[in-house]
Amino acid sequence: MPESAKIHAQRTGENSMGKYTIGKVGGNVTINEAGGNLNQAGRDVVQGNAFLGFQQDADKAQFLAALDNLRLQLRTVQSEVATSDTQNDDAKDDLSVELLKQIKALKSLSEQAAALPSAQAATPQHTSSVSDCLSTTSKLLDQAKDFGEKAADISRKLAPVITPLAALFGVIL
């Protein structure tokens, strides 16, 4: 493991659970369960028990329905990008291809999520898949804003959906 990838944690505090302070990390940090508060740069980002995965069946059903809707809306964005007259053909083709790949990635994510049990902690791979897929979707929506008014309008409406969708799985984007 390269030196830059190592995490140096320091245990402080007096109770048996302790407090861990992790310095600057040059990549992603995944925590499967945490009691208490998760804190980033002096502010609480999650309070109570952080649980990565679906807390209950209703969360899972809502997550899957939202993914299906997101895929449907991305198809509309992709068709708007493809027919846009605000960018050159190469730019339209590049973003159209990326959007189609993302639509397939969201379908794969949906299939993986459907197989996960509720009320059981998700694996780091599943957590990473959710985080990466939704982050990429958000970035593509930002790019689509430059491809005509309708694509921009849909992108602006979908962007605020991504963070709550991730939260259903317990992931903070």
Q: Write the pLDDT tens digit of every residue in 60-92.
A: 999 999 999 999 999 999 999 999 999 999 999
Asked if residue 173 is part of any domain, the answer here is no
Pair (99, 158) in one structural domain: yes
Q: Are residues 78 and 158 in the same domain?
A: yes
Say whether both 65 and 140 belong to one domain: yes
Q: Which domain holds residue 24?
A: 3-51
Q: How many structural domains comprise the chain?
A: 2
Phi, psi of 40 (to 5 degrees): -125, 120
Which of 10-19, 44-53, 76-85, 129-138 shows the lowest mean pLDDT across its residues? 10-19
Let me know whether 42 and 100 are in one domain.
Answer: no
Q: Are residues 109 and 157 in the same domain?
A: yes
Please check whether residue 148 lies inside any domain of the structure.
yes
Rg over CA atoms, the chain: 19
Which residue in this structure is represented by tokens 């291809």?
A: 97
**What CA–CA distance (Å, rounded) separates 122 from 167?**
13
Looking at the structure, do residues 121 and 141 belong to the same domain, yes or no? yes
66 & 45 share domain = no
In angstroms, the first-to-last Cα distance of the chain is 26
Q: What is the pLDDT of residue 122?
A: 87
> End of a domain among 36, 51, 66?
51
- Identify which of 62, 122, 128, 71 has the alpha carbon closest to the alpha carbon of residue 99: 71
Q: 116-166: per-residue pLDDT in tens?
A: 998 888 888 999 999 999 999 999 999 999 999 999 999 999 999 999 999
Is 114 a domain residue?
yes
